[in-house]
């Protein structure tokens, strides 16, 4: 498969935190048959919202006088009651990524790492995390420059989110000395990749940046979106294979009559039957005459011949099976679309209706 690469002539994918679909994720992560991917940008209103929330956070919550707020000026997990002074908040960001980047195993593929960046940025532009816009721009600069981070595949516990693998993403983003990326087909130190792409090799983190970037099931979502697209392709291939199998055995077409499947009250089952009928339309092998068993008289059991009444269950009832599988895929797509446009962080920041914000 051709490695994904951004084609700036294609219409850009615009992230607004509301309308991202699994199909759009795959298109921007995997590209077309030649690996050509669209650029990814942030919607202007989402940029404004992200900046407004961050400005309030910096003006009111990054001082020693601010109330204790989880992850903003406190430790994480069992250290949630440990207050971190304002002077140490910036340095604390590096502690988080160093302690959490503990993944192992083979790295994610380039398309999986691209999908991860897309999903994470889309979640963060909803404006509930207080992250700096500069962080999101840095991630998209990576993506649009074809810098694909090396992220170990194993290490997520799936509870608070994909903390460990996402910490590896942050390591690449900041140009950590041990972080690596793939650029133009070569694996290299992340700093070298940024330099080769004409970007700054290092990026400074500020308070709340890291927690916002690692606190979510984003890699699980990204991989699931890619898997869903593959499964949908398999469902289409299964219908084609079924039609070719029927053609090979001179199968009966009556089992795919739309009245049968409409009576079952299943739209997906009806669609599969319609797909098969469309593929075999005009077939010279799937006629009543062609279905007659082509045997010489002496080869027929008992010297008699009985016309075939129905094909085997595995062929006749395939629309019922394929249709149920398509129902499952539709359900998965609904869940992934919801997750792709969800805020996944802790804490979340909400307008209080009086010009300020609440941390929950």
Is residue 150 within 8 Å of residue 168, measured between CB atoms? yes
* Active site (annotated) includes residue 357: no
User: Which of 78, 53, 80 minimizes the C-alpha distance to 68?
Assistant: 80
Any idea what DSSP says for residue 175?
T
DSSP assigned state of 35: -
Residue keyed to tokens 């608070």: 160
Q: Measured between alpha carbons, how far is 117 from 122 in angstroms, rounded to an integer?
A: 9
CA dihedral of residues 326, 331, 333, 335 (deg, nearest 10) = -170
φ, ψ at 340 (rounded to 5°): -65, -25
Give the pairing type, strands 186-189 and 152-154.
Answer: unpaired
Give dist(CA 300, CA 294) in Å, integer: 9
Biggest alpha carbon–alpha carbon distance for the chain: 100
Residues 12 and 40 sit within 8 Å (Cβ to Cβ): yes
Catalytic-labelled residue, pool 70, 183, 313, 357: 70
Give the torsion through C-alpha atoms of 85, 87, 89, 90, to 10 deg.
-170
Residues tagged active-site: 70
């Amino acid at each position: 498969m051709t490695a994904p690469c951004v084609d700036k002539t294609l219409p850009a994918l615009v992230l607004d935190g509301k309308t991202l679909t699994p199909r759009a994720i795959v298109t921007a992560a995997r590209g077309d048959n030649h690996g050509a991917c669209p650029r990814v940008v942030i919607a202007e209103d989402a940029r404004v919202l992200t900046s407004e929330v961050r400005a309030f956070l910096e003006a009111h919550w990054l001082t020693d006088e601010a109330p204790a707020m989880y992850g903003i000026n406190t430790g994480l997990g069992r250290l949630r009651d440990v207050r971190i002074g304002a002077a140490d908040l910036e340095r604390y960001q590096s502690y988080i990524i160093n302690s959490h980047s503990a993944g192992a195993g083979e790295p994610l593929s380039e398309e999986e790492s691209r999908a991860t960046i897309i999903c994470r940025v889309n979640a963060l532009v909803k404006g509930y995390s207080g992250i700096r816009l500069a962080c999101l721009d840095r991630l998209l600069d990576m993506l649009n420059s074809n810098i694909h981070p090396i992220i170990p595949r194993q290490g997520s516990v799936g509870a608070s989110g994909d903390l460990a693998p996402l910490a590896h993403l942050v390591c690449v983003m900041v140009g950590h000395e041990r972080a690596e990326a793939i650029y133009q087909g070569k694996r290299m130190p992340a700093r070298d990749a940024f330099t080769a792409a004409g970007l700054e090799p290092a990026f400074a983190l500020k308070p709340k940046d890291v927690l916002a970037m690692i606190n979510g099931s984003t890699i699980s979502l990204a991989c699931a979106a890619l898997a869903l697209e593959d499964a949908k392709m398999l469902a289409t291939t299964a219908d084609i294979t079924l039609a070719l199998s029927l053609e090979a055995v001179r199968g009966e077409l009556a089992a795919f009559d739309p009245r049968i499947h409409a009576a079952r009250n299943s739209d997906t089952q009806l669609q599969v039957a319609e797909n098969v009928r469309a593929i075999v339309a005009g077939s010279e092998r799937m006629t009543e005459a062609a279905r007659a068993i082509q045997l010489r008289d002496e080869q027929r059991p008992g010297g008699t011949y009985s016309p075939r009444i129905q094909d085997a269950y595995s062929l006749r009832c395939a629309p019922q099976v394929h249709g149920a599988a398509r129902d499952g895929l539709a359900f998965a797509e609904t869940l992934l679309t919801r997750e792709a446009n969800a805020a996944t962080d802790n804490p979340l920041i909400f307008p209080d209706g009086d010009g300020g914000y609440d941390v929950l």
